[in-house]
Amino acid sequence: MQADLKAAIHLSIPFYRQHYDFTCGPACLMMAMKYLEPGVRPGKDLEIDLWREANLVAVCGTSRYGLAFSATTRGFSARVTSSTGGIDFAEKFVPSLDDPAMLLLREQFSERRARCKKLHVRERKTTITGKTLREALFSNHVPLIVTSSWFCDGEDCPHWVVVTGIDEKFLSFYNPSDVRQKKRRIGLPDLSEFVGYHGDQSMVEVWKQ
């Protein structure tokens, strides 16, 4: 769908707060699933199940292919987008992973990617811009994106958030670790810094056919 680049759109996505430091991705996915299918019941058990399916093994975080796999096996549609085609944010860690951990990371990433391919998960390599996000929202897709937690709590770690809306000036999003459980905003001029972690952009769009 071609979206008006100035039109505002805001999806009524419910908030769910992550219970563990490493489950920001699953918490975001549950928000998307609950919005798209109100009968979904978010909770700790589902949060951990999603994490087990989607985590990168060598690190606790979840990958775009892992989250897309979890969504698709539960009856949702998904598309993954990356600006680099690489392993999400894991290659940007400081200090970097040692060789055995990186080998495990690559193997697990490739395995989830292969599973997604069998499930016909769409994928593309492109820069994620305000236009990209606006088109997703106007298609009633829920965008999950990786950012730095610096924008949320002042620390510099990769962190999944849910994009809930966009207008002429701001992007609105939910931070799943936010104790206030309120939507946050970031100005569109700052979007290129907000979307991605140290230059690597990753997004999962989730929708219901």
Q: pLDDT of 193-202, one tens digit each? A: 999 998 899 9
- State which fold the 9-207 domain adopts: Cathepsin B; Chain A (3.90.70)
The CA distance from 92 to 197, in Å, is 8
Most confident of 50-64, 70-84, 140-154: 70-84
- 3-class secondary-structure state, position 65: helix
d(CA 78, CA 161): 16
Position 154 scores a pLDDT of 72
Integer Cα distance of 98 and 200 in angstroms = 20
**Of all residues in the chain, what percent carry a pLDDT higher than 90?**
71
pTM of the predicted protein model: 0.92
pLDDT tens digits for range 14-52: 999 999 999 999 999 999 999 999 999 999 999 999 999
Residues 6+ apart with CB under 8 A from 53: 66, 69, 70, 73
Which of 60, 41, 160, 64 has its CA nearest to residue 121?
64
- Phi–psi pair at 112, nearest 5 degrees: -65, -35
Look up residue 128 and give its two tokens: 């994620």
pLDDT of residue 151: 85
Single out the residue of 30, 35, 64, 36 nearest to residue 50, CA to CA: 30
- Rounded mean pLDDT of 90-99? 66
pLDDT at 124: 95
Question: Is the pLDDT confidence value at 96 over 80?
Answer: no
Residue 144 DSSP label: E
